[in-house]
Amino acid sequence: METTAAFSGTIPENYDRYLGPLLFEPYAMDIVSRIRKEKVSNVLELACGTGRVTRHLFRYFAGKAKITATDLNPDMIAIARQQVLDRSIDWIPADMQQLPFPDNSFDLAVCQYGIMFVPDKPLAIREVARVLKKGATFHFNTWDKIENNGIPWIAKQAVNDYFKGAEPTFFAIPFSMYEPSEIRKLMIENGFKDVEIDLVKKEGQSHSAEDATLGIIKGNPFFHEIEQKYPGAVGFLQDIIRNKIAEAYGNNPVRCPLQAWVGKAIK
């Protein structure tokens, strides 16, 4: 939970402003496009972050379903509230390992890039299954290997080269669930059936290599660690990463390949 909880301070704002369009918006649109709205009146979003998926859920259901959006980090929810201005949405700080809802409460659950951060994943999946009604659907996604995701891979290599032996461990967490057989097993063993998992390729876009770099450095929890332990490294890393991004994927705008596993599980 330590790393997850570090999405605080200025990080959520930078995360949404710079990483949102680059990494998360393409898959937010994708995951909501897979939802069937028939017979859905209560929607639970897990790890809602800064509201990228929430915004699309709100538009998609157009007031015909109650949306409850949860995240472990109040600072992330604070940004989400600013992005999705609707009083009908319930914003609730909540841990996926201990959801504050009764059994059989929801017709649908959605989780974009959240499962990877949970320490006890089987417990979290059992909790999702518990609060869903029988026959309800759980839509989720996880990143494929970091090597298949252009800008994060560039950033990881640059950071590791700089620190050599004292590398921040953050990059290992979001890109830790890339085996579809293991993801399917996790769902089946913890309350779900009829699990479908697809490899989905997208293109991430940013206004500039500078914006993409600001997101990677200042929109990630390891920023606090670098700033505190190695304050001189921040500017140096920004220069290296910005140049490598521009060289690989252009500038004004930047376009880079993304790859993720997108899943659907029925309770």
CB-based contact 143:178 (threshold 8 Å): yes
% of the chain residues with pLDDT over 90: 84
User: What mean pLDDT, rounded, does the chain reach?
Assistant: 94
Residue 83 lies in a domain: yes
pLDDT of the residue at 6: 67
Q: What share of the chain is helix, strand, coil (3-state, %, to 5)?
A: 45, 25, 30
pLDDT of the residue at 5: 45
Separation of CA 112 from chain center: 5
% of the chain residues with pLDDT over 70: 98
Residue 169 lies in a domain: no
Any idea what the CATH number is for the domain that residue 21 is in? 3.40.50.150
Distances in whole angstroms, Cα of residue 171 to Cα of each of 38, 41, 43, 141, 156: 38, 37, 30, 17, 7
Residue 105 lies in a domain: yes
- The predicted-structure confidence for 38-82, as pLDDT tens digits, reads as follows 999 999 999 999 999 999 999 999 999 999 999 999 999 999 999
Beta strands 90-93 and 66-71, pairing class: parallel
CB-based contact 166:231 (threshold 8 Å): no
Distances in whole angstroms, Cα of residue 214 to Cα of each of 45, 67, 147, 163, 258: 27, 31, 20, 19, 18
pLDDT at 34 over 70: yes
Pick from 149-158, 194-203, 224-233: least confident: 224-233
pLDDT at 229 over 80: no
pLDDT of the residue at 2: 41
pLDDT of the residue at 3: 43
The number of CA neighbours under 13 Å toward the Cβ of 68 is: 18
- The predicted-structure confidence for 186-198, as pLDDT tens digits, reads as follows 999 999 999 999 9
Q: What is the domain extent for residue 116?
A: 2-145+177-207+257-266
pLDDT at 240 over 70: yes
Residue 222 lies in a domain: no
Number of domains in the chain: 1
Mean pLDDT, rounded, for 118-138: 98
Residue 155 lies in a domain: no
pLDDT of the residue at 1: 39
- The predicted-structure confidence for 8-32, as pLDDT tens digits, reads as follows 788 899 999 999 999 999 999 999 9
Separation of CA 79 from chain center: 15
Nearest alpha carbon to residue 261 among 111, 58, 49: 111
Residue 250 lies in a domain: no
Residue 220 lies in a domain: no
The one-character DSSP state at 45 is E
- The predicted-structure confidence for 154-173, as pLDDT tens digits, reads as follows 999 999 998 887 777 788 89
Residue 131 lies in a domain: yes
